[in-house]
Amino acid sequence: MKYLSQLSLLLPLAFFLGAAIQYMGQSSDYTIASMIIRDGFILISLILSLPLIYKQKWTSDRNVLRGLRHLFFLVLITSAILFLSENRLASLREQFFDSDFFRINLGDNVLVVSWAFFAIVFILIALGTLRNLIYIKRKKSTAAIFTWLMIFLLLYSLTSLPEYYPDSVIHDAALFKYINYVVLFILINFSVINSFRVGWINYLNKKQKIACFWGGLILVPVQGLFVVQFREINPIVSFSPLLERFIEMGMVFITVYLSISFLALLAHLPTAKLYDRKMQQIQSLHDLSRALSSEFNWTKLVRTIVKLASEVTQAEYAWLELYNHRDGALSLISSKQLLEFERQNWQAERIGPLIEWLKRTKETMICNQVNKNDLVKNIQTWKKDVGSLIAVPMITSDRVVGFLYVGKRFEFGFEQDDAEMLRAFSDQATIAVENARLVEESIVKERLEQELKIAHEAQMKLLPKKMPVIEGIELDAVCVTANEVGGDYYDFFKLDDAKLGIVIGDVSGKGPSAAFYMAEVKGIMEALAKEVLSPEQMLVAANEILYKNFDRKTFISLIYGIIDAKNRSFTFCRAGHCPIFFVHGEKDICQRLEPKGLGVGLDPGPIFAKSLQQERIKLKRGDTLLLYTDGVTDARNRDGDEFGEKGLETALLAVKDQVSIEIKKHIIHTIYSFFDGQNAYDDLTFVIIKAL
């Protein structure tokens, strides 16, 4: 393989050298025959050189900036050489188009060949760099479209040759001219399609986007001027018209791609800070999740909670109040950026109305004008410089165990997104607080039993409390837990009035660790759902985040789909999860939908993204979809027999014409009848989607 790789470099170079020797070795006037021979050598050399574009490693989805830097300096250096040699190169080009035709001069020919070699190396490297950028987050058709671009780039160069030959050589010049126009039209279309593959911009942070902006401000005009000047002064046409057209159109494509990328970058600049903030919020959730699974030291834990709460909301102040489970007294446990006298003067009575409201509603309070809100204005008698505030009740088993606050000096410092993120954060913090208390107050056995109960209740709390309403679609779901805490999870995300995101998943393993991972998955999915990504993009982004934080023994199977009530369709991706059962309303048939997909957390990204297969189905009246976890089909009776997919299919077909709640009741009744008194081994979770 090593020798074959070297041969792939030597063969195109050999043909290029053959053309160069033939060019410089002429002892008479320039002839059409010699031009045809050289163009033949150059064509073979270009065809053999195309694989070099695909072998370059200048950039990847992990280091986009490196490839952009290489392209930036490559264009600048080549442009500088072109501009410095402008007069000499222009005179050589004029000689070729002179009325006396081109005459041979060894010194001039060496310069032309050298410039041709440098230009072809430049264009191959530049196209290889752009190819790697285009392939980032690629789709199935990306590679084919780029390959067709290269093919039509060669075809255009080849069909442009007749305009350089006399009429005596070309018998039907008009036909070749029309063919050239058609090829050019197709080439332009492929160039534009490839130029819109700029997904790599989405994954640059604010600093990187600003750096690319200033680089593009220099690079795009320089590249545009370079193309114009190259067309006017380039003497390669005397060496090989085919090579000249190939390089010229390649540079035009580079210019178009850089221009569209720069415009796309301008559109992303206003949201660059928001992207960084989202990443910081998600990272803070990761940090807390790691702390939850390993930190039982009470002092360190409460400090971590207030520290990360301020980070996830970018707040100046944060403090944590918890009830003493012995006497029920509320105490200030930990704080960040509170002065000593403020901690000493804290009294729950100062914010009594707010506390009562939080306990009664169990909702998050966001106040951007503290001094104008009757519930929270009394807080300024204790903390005078608070302008905006978020307060979240910490709830477990429908019991409020404390409150988490964050604040800023100035008014209108928070958005609703901050409140939702802090709520997701506090749900995980509640689990951590309760677990840490158990460690301090119980023996190991009692602690573990209580830990399972708290984790179980927290897990149920993370599930939707009611079914969302969407026109033309009926939804129902259930999660019946086994004795142990599991990692089953389902949720709904309102994307707009007509679209609803649905996710169902199962974390590997059982017990508290699975519940913790499930809570982390919920927070991440909620954060990503706000970006309104396609199912494929959603799972790719979630996998990229979760892979970094899951241990290598943990993964999660997921199905994420989007119901479009307007178009009556369901688009979904399956990441290693159980298949979807699809019962047609007009037929007594249960179809298994099982597109390809790898479990989340098993691969850092490339293999996972490549394995995903997004599908879209149309929903007609009476159609039913059943999404479930393996606890349903793996249910066993006293004899050890599994309920299985066949049992589930039979149960579903028996009530396919019923409403969703009746379908749910029938499936649950059928499974528990199958148990015949045997305890469930795993959680029973499924979601029903029925088209009305």
pLDDT for residue 102 is more than 50 = no
- Going by the DSSP 8-state scheme, the letter that residue 150 receives in this structure is H
Q: Which of 258-272, 284-298, 466-480, 580-594 has the lowest mean pLDDT?
A: 284-298
Higher pLDDT, 291 or 397: 397
Q: Could you tell me the two tokens for 565?
A: 């009530």
Sign of the torsion angle spanned by Cα atoms 117, 121, 124, 127: negative
- For residue 492, pLDDT beyond 60: yes
Q: Considering the chain, tell me which residue range(s) the CATH 3.60.40.10 domain(s) occupy.
A: 464-691
For residue 198, the SS3 value is: coil
pLDDT at 223: 85
Name beta bridge partners: 506: 488, 557
Q: DSSP label at 320? A: E
Rounded to an integer, the average pLDDT of 370-382 is 85
**Number of Cβ atoms within 10 Å of the Cβ of 463:** 16
Give the tens place of pLDDT for each residue, 218-236. 888 888 888 887 777 777 7
More confident site: 649 or 299: 649
The structure tokens listed for 92 are 């050589």
323-333 pLDDT, tens digit per residue, is 887 778 898 98
Distances in Å between the Cα of 216 and the Cα atoms of 69, 131, 160, 251 are 11, 18, 32, 16
What is the reported pLDDT for 569? 93
Q: Which of the four pLDDT bands, split at 50, 70 and 90, describes residue 204?
A: confident
What is the pLDDT, as a whole number, of residue 563? 94
Check residue 99 and give its pLDDT. 43
| 361 has a pLDDT exceeding 70 | yes
Per the CB < 8 A criterion, the answer to whether 546 and 524 are in contact is yes
Q: How confident is the model at residue 2 (pLDDT cuts 50, 70, 90)?
A: very low
Average pLDDT over residues 682-690: 88
The residue type of 608 is F
Retrieve residue 27's tokens.
């002892």
Which of 98-112, 167-181, 354-368, 594-608 is least confident? 98-112
What is the average per-residue pLDDT within 259-263?
89
Q: Which residues pair with 402 in a beta bridge?
A: 322, 394
Q: How many residues does the chain have?
A: 692
Q: At what angle do helices 511-529 and 535-547 cross, to 10 degrees?
A: 130
Range with lowest mean pLDDT among 92-101, 346-355, 471-480: 92-101
pLDDT average, residue stretch 240-257:
88
> Would you tell me how many other CB atoms lie within 10 Å of the CB of residue 673?
10
Range list for CATH 3.30.450.40 in the chain: 295-441
pLDDT for the residue numbered 3:
45
Which residues, 6+ apart, have CB-to-CB distance to 295 below 8 Å? 301, 304, 432, 436
Q: What is the pLDDT of residue 687?
A: 95
Topology of domain 295-441, CATH: Beta-Lactamase (3.30.450)
Q: Say which residue, 473 or 234, is predicted with more confidence.
A: 473
Round to whole Å and give the CA distance between 656 and 583. 7
Which is more confidently placed, 312 or 603? 603
109 contacts: CB under 8 Å, gap ≥ 6: 23, 24, 239
Q: What is the pLDDT, as a whole number, of residue 94?
A: 60
Closest CA to 199 of 263, 121, 132, 137: 137
pLDDT tens digits for 552-577? 778 899 999 999 999 899 999 999 99
pLDDT at residue 346 greater than cutoff 90? no
Residue 382's pLDDT is 86
Least confident of 287-291, 304-308, 312-316: 287-291
Confidence of residue 89 (pLDDT cuts 50, 70, 90): low
* Range among 208-212, 644-648, 679-683 with highest mean pLDDT value: 644-648
For the chain, what is the mean pLDDT? Answer: 81
Split at pLDDT 50, 70, 90, the class of 312 is confident
What b/e string do you get for 323-349 counting C-beta neighbours within 10 Å, with b at 16 or more?
beeeeeebebbbbbebeeebeeebeee
Q: Around Cβ 153, how many Cβ atoms within 10 Å?
A: 25
pLDDT tier at 427, thresholds 50, 70, 90: confident
Instruction: Say if residue 626's pLDDT is above 50.
Output: yes
Q: Picking from 24-38, 259-273, 651-665, which range would have the lowest pLDDT averaged per residue?
A: 24-38
Q: Where does the pLDDT of residue 416 fall: very low under 50, low under 70, confident under 90, or very high at 90 and above?
A: confident
Range scoring the smallest mean pLDDT among 207-221, 436-450, 457-471, 488-502: 436-450
Percent of the chain with pLDDT over 70: 83
Question: In the predicted model, what is the mean pLDDT of residues 449-461?
Answer: 68
Most confident of 256-260, 492-496, 624-628: 624-628
Taking 90 as the threshold, does the pLDDT of residue 502 lie above it? yes
CATH number of 464-691: 3.60.40.10
Which range has the top average pLDDT, 55-64, 107-116, 186-195, 340-349?
Answer: 186-195
